[in-house]
């Protein structure tokens, strides 16, 4: 990937669920280190777009590059490499509740090719420190609050130093104070250079931390960087 290349580049993309078109003619670019919210009513296509970006849904048509990989129209061997460069924070990627925090993180590191106990332990300490959970390695997920569990999910997404974080409703089930602290963590991670695309319904957060907004509406993706989006 070119050092200055965007982390997401979509041209005339169709986002599909099976044979149904969810979004059409999607054109947008997310630059390195940029932050954008993804908004829209329930069922408008936010999750489908994010799933397309991490190659969980095949690309309907159009051209798409994410962190330097062209998205496949069918299954493709590059998907594991693409996923390694992405941090994914999604409802479908929850913690394994029968394993400790450290075991949850080790599982991902081993699956992505890490070897050596000392290196693995060090990386786990680093990411837990990064999310403010330095003492949590030995805990089981159920011993942590909802906000702390979400921090572990974020730590897991950071393990391989992604260029891009894709997050689907990361503050969804959290009370306002905790949601705010999670949002501040995302801002911090973004300020350190990781691009973020975050689907959210939380307009309070958007008001408090104003950024570019992409909106799924009537089968299209509107972009505040091109035209004003009225948030209701």
Interacting residues toward ligand ATP by CB under 6 A? 17-18, 22, 40, 42-48, 216
With respect to ligand ATP, which residue has the nearer C-beta, 2 or 20? 20
3-state SS assignment for residue 14: strand
With respect to ligand ATP, which residue has the nearer C-beta, 46 or 123? 46
With respect to ligand ATP, which residue has the nearer C-beta, 155 or 197? 197
The minimum distance between CB 124 and ligand ATP, in angstroms, equals: 31
The minimum distance between CB 132 and ligand ATP, in angstroms, equals: 27
User: What would you report as the CA-atom Rg of the chain, rounded to the nearest whole angstrom?
Assistant: 17
- The span from the CA of 171 to the CA of 63, in Å, is 31
The minimum distance between CB 54 and ligand ATP, in angstroms, equals: 13
- The span from the CA of 116 to the CA of 93, in Å, is 25
With respect to ligand ATP, which residue has the nearer C-beta, 39 or 108? 39
Which residues contact residue 1 at a Cβ distance below 8 angstroms, ignoring those fewer than 6 apart?
67, 68, 163
- The span from the CA of 123 to the CA of 114, in Å, is 10
With respect to ligand ATP, which residue has the nearer C-beta, 131 or 199? 199
Nearest to 49 by CA among 78, 90, 81: 90
Contact, 17 vs 35, CB < 8 A?
no
Contact, 198 vs 167, CB < 8 A?
yes
The minimum distance between CB 42 and ligand ATP, in angstroms, equals: 4
Contact, 30 vs 66, CB < 8 A?
no
With respect to ligand ATP, which residue has the nearer C-beta, 137 or 182? 182
The minimum distance between CB 16 and ligand ATP, in angstroms, equals: 9
């Amino acid at each position: 990937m070119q050092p200055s290349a965007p982390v997401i580049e979509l041209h005339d993309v169709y986002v599909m669920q099976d044979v149904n078109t969810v979004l059409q003619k999607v054109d947008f670019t997310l630059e390195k280190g940029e932050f954008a919210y993804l908004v829209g009513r329930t069922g408008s296509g936010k999750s489908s777009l994010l799933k397309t970006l991490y190659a969980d849904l095949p690309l309907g048509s159009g051209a798409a590059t994410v962190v330097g990989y062209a998205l496949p129209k069918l299954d493709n061997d590059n998907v594991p490499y693409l996923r390694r460069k992405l941090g994914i924070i999604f409802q479908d990627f929850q913690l394994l509740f029968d394993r400790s925090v450290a075991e949850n993180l080790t599982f991902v590191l081993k699956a992505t090719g890490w070897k050596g106990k000392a290196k693995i332990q060090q990386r786990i300490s680093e990411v837990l420190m990064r999310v403010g959970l330095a003492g949590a390695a030995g805990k089981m997920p159920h011993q942590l609050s909802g906000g702390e569990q979400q921090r572990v999910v974020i730590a897991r997404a950071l393990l391989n130093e992604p260029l891009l974080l894709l997050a689907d409703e990361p503050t969804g089930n959290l009370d306002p104070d905790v949601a705010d602290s999670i949002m501040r963590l995302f801002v911090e991670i973004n300020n350190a250079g990781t691009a973020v695309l975050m689907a959210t319904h939380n307009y309070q957060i958007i008001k408090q931390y104003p950024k570019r907004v992409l909106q799924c509406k009537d089968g299209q993706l509107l972009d505040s960087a091109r035209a004003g989006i009225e948030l209701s």
